[in-house]
Chains A and B, each alone.
Chain A
Amino acid sequence: MEKKPVSLWQIFAVFAKIGAFTIGGGYAMIPIIQDEMARRGWISEDELPDIVALSQSAPGVMAVNISIFAGYRLRGIKGSIAATLGSITPSFCIILAIAMLFTSFKDNPWVIKAFKGIRPVVIALIAVPMVNMARKCCKSWWAWTLAVASLLLVAFLNVSPIYIILCILITAFGYTYIKEKWTR
């Protein structure tokens, strides 16, 4: 028996639900996506780790990449557009509402006090994933050099992070390519 194709509206709705309930970014999204996809039989559980791995290595936001992948599996390019729009619509509306309201609340003395407390906390919350990532991937002197050099260049010499990524992309590509040719 042939499987009935999933409607675009259904893809949009399921991903909108996933988007609305994930707070904290891409990694929090994975178990929810897994559950929704497996329950509907859209994507099998052994397929998902591959999709996650690829979404992590492709540029951009991981959650969006997963939506593009999963939507494509279901209905091709149209499916990937439906899934992506679905997954960003809830947060888009919420952020927009906050952005519009925040301009009028910004000068309220209570809001000022709360944000005085929040701002230093945010910096700690950026530092924590950095330390965790460093422990995982900075294991050689070369990795440490790359990490420290990028930090210094961006933080103190005001170099754009885009240039750093572009330069590393080109040199790493050239180096690995030549090394591969040499050893073969």
Chain B
Amino acid sequence: MDTLILFLQLFGTFFLIGAFTIGGGYAMLSLIQGEVVTAHHWISESTFTDIVAISQMTPGPIGINSATYVGYDVIAQATGSHLLGICGSATATLALMIPSFIIVLLIVRFYTQFKNSALFEGVMGWLRPAVVGLIGAAAVILVVKTTWFQGTPAFTIVEENFPDWKSWILLAAAFCVSYWGKVNPILVIVGGAVLGLLIY
């Protein structure tokens, strides 16, 4: 019974994420994190970081990959069964795509009205900057955790992600080579792994 409820929650959560993700894969990471880590506590910040790394290095869109992984992890952790875990990842992945299906097929029907409408452009002009903020928040949450107690916030560094000063240098170096050096993300992750093996 509990497992069934968990499956329904998983479906509902990823359906909502699919329906409200506008602005691509990184925006989706922010929504997945908001629901799966912050709201439901299904997985920890550091596990989420690992999932993002793995999703980035494997073929396929990062949003779908993370959903597949999270779906497996949540159910397999709760039930201890690989088979149910597989069903979990299928549930999350399909739930994520169903809203896209409905909306894209609607767009196909009303293509011409949709294309040049001022209403559409107006709404997107507000949404795009908000998505920038959401992606920024996804990055911040993986660094600093905020807990509220009686109206006062307490900030703690996510120690699984930043155990010591070397982590901060890795963060800065990765940002530089990726932003200014335009180095491929997969190479940057491989570089992080190699440096991790050497310095820890």
A38 located at the interface, meaning its Cβ lies under 8 Å from any Cβ of chain B in the complex: no
Q: A65-B100, A133-B135, A165-B22 are in contact. Are A120 and B189 (CB under 8 A)?
A: no
B78 located at the interface, meaning its Cβ lies under 8 Å from any Cβ of chain A in the complex: no
Q: Which of A39-63 contact B (CB under 8 A)?
A: 50, 54-63
Q: Which of A99-132 contact B (CB under 8 A)?
A: 99-100, 102-103, 110, 112-131
Taken together as a complex, chains A and B put the C-alpha atoms of A160 and B50 apart, in Å, by 21
Are A96 and B68 neighbours in the complex by a CB distance under 8 Å?
A: yes
Residue positions of B touching A, CB distance < 8 A = 16-31, 33-35, 38-39, 46, 49-50, 52-65, 68-69, 72-73, 76, 82, 85-86, 89-90, 93, 96-97, 99-101, 103-105, 107-108, 111, 114-115, 118-120, 122-144, 146, 148, 153, 160-163, 167-168, 170-172, 174-175, 178-179, 184-186, 188-189, 191-197, 199-200
Our pick among A25, A113, A134, A155 for the contact of B141 (Cβ within 8 Å) is A155
* CB-based nearest B residue for A167: B130
Are A161 and B49 neighbours in the complex by a CB distance under 8 Å?
A: no
* CB-based nearest B residue for A165: B20
| 14 CB-based A-B contacts, threshold 8 Å | A22-B59, A58-B107, A59-B103, A61-B63, A110-B197, A113-B196, A115-B196, A116-B196, A120-B167, A126-B139, A128-B178, A138-B132, A156-B146, A161-B20
- The contact size tier of chain A is 35 or more
CB distance from A37 to the nearest CB of B (A): 16
B161 / chain A contacts, CB cutoff of 8 Å: 119-120, 123
The secondary-structure label for the interface of chain A is helix
A60 / chain B contacts, CB cutoff of 8 Å: 18-19, 21, 28, 63, 96-97, 99-100, 103-104
The secondary-structure label for the interface of chain B is helix
Are A91 and B58 neighbours in the complex by a CB distance under 8 Å?
A: yes
Q: A21-B59, A118-B189, A121-B189 are in contact. Are A58 and B100 (CB under 8 A)?
A: yes
A1 located at the interface, meaning its Cβ lies under 8 Å from any Cβ of chain B in the complex: no
B86 / chain A contacts, CB cutoff of 8 Å: 96
